Amino acid sequence: QQPVQSPQAVILREGEDAVINCSSSKALYSVHWYRQKHGEAPVFLMILLKGGEQKGHEKISASFNEKKQQSSLYLTASQLSYSGTYFCGTASLYNQGGKLIFGQGTELSVKP
Amino acid sequence: KAGVTQTPRYLIKTRGQQVTLSCSPISGHRSVSWYQQTPGQGLQFLFEYFSETQRNKGNFPGRFSGRQFSNSRSEMNVSTLELGDSALYLCASSDPSGGNTEAFFGQGTRLTVV
């Protein structure tokens, strides 16, 4: 039931782009993306809802393929501050945003 | 608005003891969820409280329990601590009045069981 994230880790140079994928075997109502830096709390990035609504930071973009139960997070023109572990959390039903099932995380490292 | 506040930040307990962790959500948020984070298992859902009622529960033993007060503050209790309970415990608050929405995490409580 845990969504699968890929890749597990990625190393970028500043300015490069990356895509992080999240795939679930269950039907999804919403996908939530977070970034966590070492020793800090996960920070909300984006929520994508069934039906196409999405909400999140301006500089972050993501997609949600409802038929395939897949979501992708697009990081463009990466900056050093993008480094951290990215998690997708999934909810299968409306009003279950408080019960997120998280993927195992994707570790992103941006080098100068 | 103040963020989600968790206390204490660090805790060291002995096997067999019990522990209580506290979470104060963002003002106006009525949902509080608890997660356990470990290097091996990642982020795992424990339970969610909404308007003082447990709304969802994860797959953890009965030693893990929680409650929510009328001001939405929540506590989590772990009894008969085991070494494997060592983890970062995170709480997240949200306002689900409009359906699934973003959740905001606190800094967590780092529990070490010795």
Q: What pLDDT, on a 0 to 100 scale, did the predictor assign at position A39?
A: 87
pLDDT at B12 over 80: yes
Please say whether the beta carbons of B32 and B23 come within 8 A: yes
Partner residue opposite B45 with nearest CB, options A42, A99, A105 = A99
pLDDT at B98 over 70: no
Q: Which of A41-55, A62-76, B60-74 has the lowest mean pLDDT?
A: A41-55
How far off is chain B from A33, nearest CA to CA, in Å?
9
Residue B18 φ/ψ, nearest 5 degrees: -120, 160
pLDDT at B74 over 70: yes
Rounded Cα distance between B85 and B82, Å, is 5
- Please identify among residues 72-91 of chain A the ones whose CB lies closer than 8 Å to any CB of chain B: 87, 89, 91
- Give A62-104 pLDDT, tens digit per residue: 999 999 999 999 999 999 999 999 999 999 887 777 889 999 9
Higher-confidence residue of A98 and B82: namely B82
